[in-house]
Structures are given as C-alpha cells and as structure tokens.
C-alpha cells in the first residue's frame, strides 16, 4: 500500500511540473544580503543545503563564480544543477531567505538576522542556429565613400543588407570588391541576429528568474529560526517544520512539494 501511495504521489508531483522549462537543468545563484559576515555565512549554509539536496536527488552539480566572504562564508555563488526537473523543483526557491540565530561571529553572542537572495533560472543555453533565407534580405550596392585606396570610388562595391523580418541593416564598404563586401556584410548580419536572439533569451531568463528584489527584511519567502526556538517556515504556503537541522542538511522537498501544490491550487501568496 505504501508503495502504491508513493507512486500516486510521484505521479501527482510530475503533473505539477508541466511548465515549459521545468524539465531543464537549473542554474542557481545565491547572494549574501544585509547582515555582514553573518549573511555571508548564511549564504554558504544555503549553498551546502542545496548541494546536499541535489546529491539526494542524484543530480550533478558544478560550481561557477564562487566569491568568498571577507571573514567567512560567501558573497555570492552560481551553481549549475543538472538533472531532469531540476528547474521545476528549484523554482520554488526563488526569493529572499532569512536566518535568525545567535551569531557565532558576535563576541557577545547576540541574536542576529541575516538574509540571502536565491535566484534560479533554467539552462536554456542551447546552440543558436542562424539561418538567413534569401527572400528575407534586400541587398543594395552603392559607391564607397570612405578611405580605401585608389579603387574604392570607381565601382558600386559597397554593400548594404536589410533583414526584412527584423529591420536590421548592415553595411560594408571596407573591402575592394563587391563580393568581399557582401561576405563581410552577411557575417555582420549573422552577428547582429545572434546578438538579438541572445538578448531575447536573456530577457526571458531574467523574467523566469523572478523579480529582482533587494535582499532585505520584508521580501523573504522563507525564514529559518534557530534561536530562541527551532522552526523553518515558508511565508507563501505557511508550511513549517521544527527540524531545522534536517532542513539545512538538504531536506527541502517538503517545502518544494507544498509550494508546487499551492501554485497548482492557486493559493500561494506573495508570488
């Protein structure tokens, strides 16, 4: 019976992961917020937590852009988490995470509140094929006007290419022959189209990352309290647990499940 219940739960969970990019690998970034060395230590604690979570799921990880903290912890880190549905799971983690504890860096052992911002985006860095159809371009030739030696003004060797679907216009008059100028102009056009496609993808990735909120009080999605009591609470779903140790050791799935269920039911707040 337990096995059947588990299969049903897995099926329900997979139905929640039906977003366009949910099956993709995830690129997760953590940035220490306000709170000095405590915040940087908190950012490193979150990194360890997500690495352990990934290990539990048998996902592969690769750390990029690791910026160490001044005294302890990290200022920021980016890690790629590779595995089916990595993004679908981890998009629930986008936002600011808060930690309340007795600071190990404070000689007086006072209670400190620290923040760290988590960004998650799908890996959509697929190879971009630039195909230019002949019917999509208009080619004009004209007499070169710039410097270019004795041959430059004698023929209509300069080339202007307009890409009709996008309106992009490129010109080349540096080479001596029209054929050479056309080759260079096509190369310029492909570069411009690639740049345009990259910008579109970056804008889409920025949208998927979530709002670029400042990591401070008032924007947090989840709080971990270690003093004066132990509790982890998600402020969007109200799901909570007293097992802070297990949570920080990578047991994030209950929070992910609660978030996805709330999103499926349209009851998550602050998202």
| DSSP string for 201-232 | HHHHHHHHH-----SSTT-EEEEEE-SSS-EE
pTM of the model: 0.67
Q: Within this chain, do residues 97 and 217 fall inside the same structural domain, yes or no?
A: yes
Question: Taking all residues of the chain, what is their mean pLDDT, rounded to a whole number?
Answer: 83
Instruction: With respect to residue 270, please indicate whether it lies within any of the assigned structural domains.
Output: no
CB-based contacts of 183, cutoff 8 Å, min separation 6: none
Q: Within this chain, do residues 107 and 215 fall inside the same structural domain, yes or no?
A: yes
Q: Within this chain, do residues 148 and 193 fall inside the same structural domain, yes or no?
A: yes
Q: Within this chain, do residues 41 and 117 fall inside the same structural domain, yes or no?
A: yes
Q: Within this chain, do residues 166 and 138 fall inside the same structural domain, yes or no?
A: yes
Kind of pairing between the strands at 74-82 and 231-234? unpaired
Q: Within this chain, do residues 143 and 49 fall inside the same structural domain, yes or no?
A: no
pLDDT of residue 268: 59
pLDDT of residue 212: 56
Instruction: With respect to residue 184, please indicate whether it lies within any of the assigned structural domains.
Output: yes
Classify residue 189 as exposed, middle or buried by CB count within 10 Å of its CB (0-12, 13-18, 19+): buried
Q: Within this chain, do residues 8 and 123 fall inside the same structural domain, yes or no?
A: yes
Q: What is the CATH number of the domain that holds 164?
A: 3.30.160.20
Question: Which of 184, 203, 222 corresponds to the end of one domain?
Answer: 203
pLDDT of residue 144: 66
Q: Within this chain, do residues 223 and 100 fall inside the same structural domain, yes or no?
A: yes
Instruction: With respect to residue 248, please indicate whether it lies within any of the assigned structural domains.
Output: yes
Q: Within this chain, do residues 119 and 150 fall inside the same structural domain, yes or no?
A: no
Q: Within this chain, do residues 194 and 147 fall inside the same structural domain, yes or no?
A: yes
Instruction: With respect to residue 271, please indicate whether it lies within any of the assigned structural domains.
Output: no
Helix segments in 57-84, DSSP class H? none
Instruction: With respect to residue 242, please indicate whether it lies within any of the assigned structural domains.
Output: yes
Q: Within this chain, do residues 180 and 114 fall inside the same structural domain, yes or no?
A: no
Instruction: With respect to residue 199, please indicate whether it lies within any of the assigned structural domains.
Output: yes
Instruction: With respect to residue 115, please indicate whether it lies within any of the assigned structural domains.
Output: yes
Q: Are 37 and 107 in contact (CB under 8 A)?
A: no
Instruction: With respect to residue 173, please indicate whether it lies within any of the assigned structural domains.
Output: yes
Question: Which of 203, 235, 251 corresponds to the end of one domain?
Answer: 203
Q: Residue 193 belongs to what domain range?
A: 134-203
Question: Which of 203, 222, 244 corresponds to the end of one domain?
Answer: 203
When divided into structural domains, the chain yields a total of: 2
pLDDT of residue 152: 46
Q: Within this chain, do residues 82 and 17 fall inside the same structural domain, yes or no?
A: yes
pLDDT of residue 124: 66
Residues 131-157: pLDDT tens digits? 889 999 999 988 865 444 444 455 678
- Angle, CA of 37, 43 and 48, to the nearest 5°: 125
Q: What is the CATH number of the domain that holds 92?
A: 3.30.70.1660
Low-confidence residues in the chain, pLDDT < 50: 127, 146-152, 217, 271
């Amino acid at each position: 019976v337990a096995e059947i219940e588990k299969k049903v739960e897995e099926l329900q969970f997979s139905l929640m992961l039906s977003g366009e990019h949910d099956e993709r690998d995830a690129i997760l970034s953590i940035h220490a917020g306000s709170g000095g060395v405590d915040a940087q230590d908190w950012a490193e604690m979150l990194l360890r937590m997500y690495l352990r979570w990934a290990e539990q799921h048998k996902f592969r990880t690769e750390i990029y852009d690791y910026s160490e903290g001044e005294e302890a912890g990290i200022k920021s880190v980016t890690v790629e988490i590779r595995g089916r549905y990595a993004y679908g799971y981890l998009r629930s983690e986008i936002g600011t995470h808060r930690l309340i504890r007795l600071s190990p860096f404070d000689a007086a052992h006072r209670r400190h509140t620290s923040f760290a911002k988590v960004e998650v985006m799908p890996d959509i860095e697929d190879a971009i094929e630039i195909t230019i159809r002949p019917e999509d371009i208009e080619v004009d030739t004209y007499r070169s006007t710039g410097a270019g030696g004795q041959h430059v003004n004698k023929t209509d060797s300069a080339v202007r290419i307009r890409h009709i679907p996008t309106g992009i216009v490129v010109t080349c008059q540096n080479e001596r022959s029209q054929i050479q100028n056309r080759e260079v102009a096509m190369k310029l056009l492909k570069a411009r189209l690639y740049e345009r496609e990259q910008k579109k993808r970056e804008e889409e990735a920025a949208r998927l990352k979530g709002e670029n909120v400042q990591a401070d009080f008032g924007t947090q999605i989840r709080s971990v309290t270690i003093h004066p009591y132990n509790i982890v609470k998600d402020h969007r779903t109200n799901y909570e647990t007293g097992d802070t140790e297990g949570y920080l050791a990578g047991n994030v799935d209950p929070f992910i499940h609660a978030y996805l269920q709330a999103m499926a039911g349209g009851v998550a707040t602050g998202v």
